[in-house]
Amino acid sequence: MTEMDAVDVAALGRWLDEFARLVGEHKQHLIQLDSAIGDADHGTNMDRGMSAVIAALDGAELPDVGALFKKVATTMISAVGGASGPLYGTFFLRMATAAGPVDSLDGPAFAKALRAGLDGVVARGKAEAGDKTMYDALAPAVDALDDALGAGKPLTEALSDAADAAARGRDATKDLVARKGRASYLGERSVGHQDPGATSAALLISATSALTSTSTKG
Ligand code: ADP
Ligand code: MG
């Protein structure tokens, strides 16, 4: 663990900026995935939510990491009507509580906060592994992050492992029968389609590359 492996409020803000950017870039794809097994609004929901988050963070008083995540959570919940709003909102609310009023998180503390967020998604949506939801991308990512940090890998590398695990989990949702959310109404007919929420969740984890990048916004 090096000093560089701690992420402060500014770095976490870069993560959220990058997630918002990726959601915007993949908006049509998320819409397309949700049109196959849902109601075609996941791309719109996530883009509206993350645009609102970026607007809310701009100029906000954010004294610590907990305050940052709490602002993200309340904004997602109020801006997004679909299932994904309360689920992502709960994710960030639990991250806020786990992080607390601190200036920065080291690798294990960030992993612990992500784990708390994942537990929040489960508490809220009752999804289990293999139900074809965002859980199926998030859970392997959090496990991979824990494993990599436990093996002594630097945070950048550990986050890259987590992103790979999230992508594999996302891809594997294609073969699953949906058991939660709107897609579950389709039963067996949901097989063959990648889950939209697992797809946005993989973007969330992929965006963590911005946490340890040294580039700064002008
Ligand atoms: P809605 O289903 O209300 O239209 P979205 O389209 O924005 O909301 O989000 C759909 C995604 O939400 C799904 O692809 C799935 O990943 C996720 N989801 C739905 N229900 C649950 C649940 N109970 N637990 C975890 N994730 C869920
Ligand atoms: Mg939908």
For residue range 8-34, what is the model confidence (pLDDT) as tens digits?
999 999 999 999 999 999 999 999 999
Average pLDDT over residues 189-199: 97
Of 101, 95, 128, 130, residue with least CA distance to 114: 95
On whether the CB atoms of residues 169 and 136 are closer than 8 A, the answer is yes
Hey, which of 87, 184, 193 would you mutate to test ligand 1's pocket, going by the most ligand atoms within 8 Å of its Cβ? 87
More confident residue, 217 or 193: 193
- Domain assignment present for residue 16? The answer is yes
pLDDT at 217: 47
- Domain assignment present for residue 217? The answer is no
pLDDT at 81: 87
Give the chain's mean pLDDT. 95
Which residues have any ligand 1 atom within 6 Å of their CB?
Answer: 34, 38-39, 41-42, 45, 82-84, 87, 121, 125-127, 133-135, 180-182, 195-198
pLDDT at 215: 53
Res. 42: pLDDT tops 60: yes
pLDDT at 180: 97
- Domain assignment present for residue 157? The answer is yes
- Domain assignment present for residue 170? The answer is yes
pTM beyond cutoff 0.85: yes
User: What residue numbers bound the domain in which 24 lies?
Assistant: 3-212
Of all protein residues, the one whose alpha carbon is nearest to atom 5 of ligand 1 is 42
- Domain assignment present for residue 218? The answer is no
Of all protein residues, the one whose alpha carbon is nearest to atom 4 of ligand 1 is 82
User: Which residues lie near ion ligand 2 (Cβ < 5 Å)?
Assistant: 34, 38-39, 41-42
How far is Cα 5 from Cα 108, in angstroms, rounded to an integer?
10
154-165 per-position pLDDT tens digit: 999 999 999 999
Q: How many Cα neighbours within 13 Å face the side chain of 163?
A: 16
From the CA of 80, give the closest atom in ligand 1.
7
Res. 119: pLDDT tops 70: yes
**Which secondary-structure segment (H or E) carries 123?**
helix 107-125
pLDDT at 213: 83
How far is Cα 183 from Cα 134, in angstroms, rounded to an integer?
12
pLDDT at 218: 41
CATH number at residue 86: 1.25.40.340
From the CA of 33, give the closest atom in ligand 1.
14
Q: What total number of domains does the chain contain? A: 1
pLDDT at 52: 98
- Domain assignment present for residue 159? The answer is yes
- Domain assignment present for residue 158? The answer is yes
How far is Cα 62 from Cα 180, in angstroms, rounded to an integer?
35
